[in-house]
Structure 1
Amino acid sequence: MKNSKLLLTGLIVSGIVLTGCQTDESESSTGENAYVVGLDDTFAPMGFRDDDGNLVGFDIDLAEAVAADLDYSISFQPIDWAMKETELNAGNIDMIWNGYTITNERAEKVDFGTPYLENSQLIVTLEGNGIDTKSDLAGKKVAAQQSSSAVSAIESDPSDILSQFDNGEVIQFPSNNDVFNDLISGRSDAIVVDETLGRFYMSQNASPDYKVLEDNFGNEEYAVGFRQDDDELREEFNASLERLMEDGTYDDIYQTWFSEQE
């Protein structure tokens, strides 16, 4: 398993805008072994739009590699991230595959495949605002993506720091783009985001001067979410992922999008 401390490589084209497009790239899952992957298409570098509007990212490449290994047909469906489990269990999509963090709450609604990437919940603020530790968030406005693992991590933090935030709440937005924009505008004092997305965003947007605290809201793992009665599909995915990790395919995809932080 790769270390959760990740730094994006220069292989990613600079200047990519993280604003999602509403184009629906999915086709109906008709026929045997045809599946629809649900994702937030603004979640770089896991699944997002490049300058030409194409879906790219670590999870996109990995999903396509698994599909090729299993001789499956897959398509990608952008969804409202707050409705991801509802979309899955209604049969509108067949997998949630987009930096989807394992949590106890989610495990009550879906079955997770084998974890494939480590992550953490970063606390990001701006230089010069006097926020240096988690405890400095007391009385501050803190933002995160709606229905994200960032919100869950804050709510379950043993320090109960949430009760000390301004108004005792997390300011929530539909996308992480909105979260970063709120910080940049000065409306929020700090934000909590997935490390994978946060480091990518900051590498592509060097101004203003961001500051990542040493404190965070915990480490976690990404996995694919399946319906709880799709045992066969989940087991096939797990077997394929193991093969891709053994034959070097996973490492090749990883190196395309990430390099280890020194």
Structure 2
Amino acid sequence: MKKMKALIVAAAALSLSALLLAGCGGAPANDKKAEDKAPAKEEKTTLVVGLDNAYPPYGFIGDDGNLTGFDIDLATEVAERNGWDLELEAIDWDAKDALLNQGTINCIWNGFTMEGREGKYAFSKPYMHNEQVVVVKADSGIDSLEGLAGKNVMTQVDSAALDVLEDEEGQKALADTFAGGAAQTIGDYNNAFMQLESGTVDAVACDLSIADYQMAAKPDMFVKLEPLSTENYAVGFAKDGDQAMVDAVNKTLKEMYDDGTIAELCEKWGEYGITIDNWVLVD
């Protein structure tokens, strides 16, 4: 019994010694020094892309419920090659400038026309040729722009097509002949084409790629008229934004063209009207 008590006392003494040593701060002090010496972790760059999620084939919601599209594939590859995180933000297209200037998004990458907007954004180099066109039903009897006189023509709000139709040096004179003296506007092109198909409107003014996508989906339903204008797509950043990011996007897109990635993506989206023939960022 005495031996047992002696062992218990000895064990208690050892435990107390250990606690006292720990209280003196030997190990924690070393940990503190290690923390002080550890370098701060670098914050990873994030590419936050603002887009219209009803703008096929550049950005739209696929059958699986996820965002997809040609421009999304481009942005994904550019972000990966630069070691950036990527965030895709479906936005109200009307609010794009405010979101960009607030820093909620840091670029607009979504079949974004640069002509006429050069003073408002810091653009990447143009990467894709585009046109503004008018689509009508194949059985409409309309075969020229002049045939739109007195017709209901619809386009997307704040779109490049609307800009052309409101521009005195563009096609405003043509738009003045439309029913109501101007083009009607709607929030997205998918609904515009639904109205065209149902006969609610007579024509839709839109980007060439949108027209080609809709015509590829319903080849016997729609035809397009001659172009309203020709232009280019580019990635739009805030005017006083991150020039290093703009330069990196230009450099990476060029590398993707050189190594055949762009050709592969154009082939992937070929059935939606995308073609390597319209790619312009080659230098």
The bucket for the TM-score relative to the shorter chain is 0.7 to 0.9
The corresponding residue for 1:228 is: 239
The corresponding residue for 1:196 is: 209
Residue identity in the other structure for 1:227: A
User: Structure 1, residues 32-83: CA drift from partner, whole Å, max 9, x if none?
Assistant: 3112100001111111111111111111111111111111111100001122
1:85–1:110 CA contact under 8 A, matched in 2: no
Of 55, 59, 63, which aligns to 1:51?
63
**Distance in 2 between the 1:57 and 1:158 partners?**
30
3-state SS of 2:227 partner? strand
Are 1:78 and 2:57 an aligned pair?
Answer: no
Of 162, 179, 191, which aligns to 1:166?
179
CA radius of gyration, larger in: 2
Residue identity in the other structure for 2:210: L
Report deviation, 1:129.
2.3
More strand by share: 1
- Most deviating of 55-64 and 228-237: 228-237
Of 124, 145, 154, which aligns to 2:165?
154
**Distance in 2 between the 1:140 and 1:251 partners?**
39
Q: Identity percentage over the alignment?
A: 35
Residue identity in the other structure for 1:81: W
Report deviation, 1:126.
1.1
The corresponding residue for 1:14 is: none
**Structure 1 unmatched ranges of 5 or more:** 1-29
**Distance in 2 between the 1:96 and 1:222 partners?**
11
**Distance in 1 between the 2:64 and 2:251 partners?**
34
Report deviation, 1:158.
4.8
**Structure 2 unmatched ranges of 5 or more:** 1-41, 278-283
Are 1:121 and 2:112 an aligned pair?
Answer: no
3-state SS of 1:200 partner? helix
The corresponding residue for 1:87 is: 99
Mapping for residues 24-63 of structure 1, pairs under 5 Å: 31-63=43-75
- Change over 3 Å in CA distance of 1:257–1:31 after alignment to 2: same
Are 1:143 and 2:154 an aligned pair?
Answer: yes
Higher relative contact order (CA 8 A, sep 6+): 1
The corresponding residue for 1:9 is: none
3-state SS of 1:118 partner? strand
Runs of 4+ residues deviating >6 angstroms: none
Of 108, 121, 126, which aligns to 1:110?
121
- Change over 3 Å in CA distance of 1:84–1:167 after alignment to 2: same
Report deviation, 1:204.
2.1
**Distance in 2 between the 1:95 and 1:51 partners?**
26
Provide the alpha-carbon RMSD of the alignment: 2.0
**Distance in 2 between the 1:80 and 1:159 partners?**
26
